[in-house]
Amino acid sequence: MNTSQEIQVTPHRGRGVIARYREFLPVSDSTPIVSLGEGGTPLISSPRLSAIVGRGCEVHLKYEGLNPTCSFKDRGMTVAVSKAVEGGTLAVICASTGNTSASAAAYAARAGIRCAVVLPAGKIASGKLLQAFAYGAKVVAIEGNFDDALRIVRRLGARDDFAIVNSINPDRIAGQKTAAFEIVDDLGDAPDLHLLPLGNAGNISAYWAGYREYRDAGNSTRSPAMIGFEAAGAAPMFHGRVVENPETIASAIRIGNPASWETADRAVRDSHGAIDIVTDDEILAAQQWLATQEGIFVEPASAAPIAGLFKCCEPARSPAYSFAQIPEGSRIVCTVTGHGLKDPEVMMDRVMKLTAVAPNEEAVLRAIGF
Ligand code: AN7
């Protein structure tokens, strides 16, 4: 068992993914590079998760909350906005459950172009909404869900004055592939299993494309089984049908009709992976576990693969992918996609219970209670 607390800190932190992986990306010498130093995020080994999986397996966490706007979206946004500027676009538009809008707003600001974001009213975590305003985007809330917002954006994007920067834009997927490249570069080869949350299903498609391309280029000898986790109340791919009214505490993945459904299905099939579901209670428990046991605070959606990993280790619960079958010594990577500070609401009830005590040592010691 790997009990070391190794952290692969890449020497490339802060360079930006286009500078580092240019030959794999759709850019040329005439593309103006719009970057905020995204990517190069640490791959952190988790001795406690490794111990739970057992049999000499190693679990690593790809900590995407350390990107410039604190989610993985920045990898794709640097490419999408660079290409939009190259094409002469003066405004970008996206639908979002929050993180895409935060990232689009930041990269548009950096590029000096306008940004409009269309969001489901009342369903965006406050940190993400605050980011969209802070970076100066035009924020439009609709009385509808994410799927309604994306439908509207697809139509508006057909006009000449907007470039869509949702993951239906292939430049977004191209940029997000770089996370798979980094994992291979850090581990020396691809892992055996890769777990991640599933929302619009763009990221699982991007990782799979990245693992394949990197193997084809001779940089790895294999590609992992891709295992995606939907929230139980927003699980169209797991159930094989569109969910009209998706519901979950993990607002980032509150999506009923994923745009990249087909490519994600293919990724899961071709990689011999699986799609499974985790409940909101399991997501919140995994979020708390990761923060208190490993010191990594992620937003609820990002805890889905951790909840999923726990489920995979319990054959009695009939997981879609049982770890009982994986070979000894397997290497497992979980992507934790966004930072916990983006969604303070889910912790607020605990924070609000804090009451002040008298300003003396006895009262403070009593309150500590150790
Ligand atoms: C933290 O921001 O869809 O399966 O509009 O923010 O590629 O959609 C966010 C998705 C996982 C799911 N984790 O990724 C949006 C949006 C976090 C996310 C996902 C999202 P995809």
Mutate to test the pocket of ligand 1, among 150, 200, 237 (most ligand atoms within 8 A of CB): 200
- Return averaged pLDDT per consecutive 10 residues of the chain, 370 residues in all: 60 89 97 97 97 97 98 98 96 97 98 98 97 98 97 91 95 98 98 98 98 98 98 98 97 97 98 98 98 97 98 95 93 98 91 93 95
Mutate to test the pocket of ligand 1, among 99, 165, 306 (most ligand atoms within 8 A of CB): 99
User: Which residue's CA is minimally distant from atom 5 of ligand 1?
Assistant: 96
203 Cα: distance to centroid of ligand 1 (angstroms): 8
Classify 336 as helix, strand or coil: strand
Query: For residue 160, what pLDDT is reported?
Result: 81
The minimum-distance atom of ligand 1 relative to the CA of 176 is 7
CA-based R_g, the chain, Å: 20
CA contacts within 13 A on the Cβ side of 40:
18
* Cα separation, 257 vs 237, whole angstroms: 8
The minimum-distance atom of ligand 1 relative to the CA of 264 is 4
253 Cα: distance to centroid of ligand 1 (angstroms): 6
* Cα separation, 207 vs 49, whole angstroms: 22
Mutate to test the pocket of ligand 1, among 73, 118, 147, 265 (most ligand atoms within 8 A of CB): 73
Query: Contact at 8 Å (CB) between 348 and 209?
Result: no
pLDDT digits (tens, 9 = 90+) for 258-301: 999 999 999 999 999 999 999 999 999 999 999 999 999 999 99
105 Cα: distance to centroid of ligand 1 (angstroms): 16
pLDDT digits (tens, 9 = 90+) for 179-220: 999 999 999 999 999 999 999 999 999 999 999 999 999 999
Q: Which residues of 335-349 are buried (b: 16+ CB within 10 A; e: fewer)?
A: bbbbbbebbeebbee
Ligand 1 pocket, Cβ-based, cut-off 6 angstroms:
71, 96-100, 167, 197-203, 252-253, 299, 301-302, 337-338
The predicted model scores a pTM of 0.95
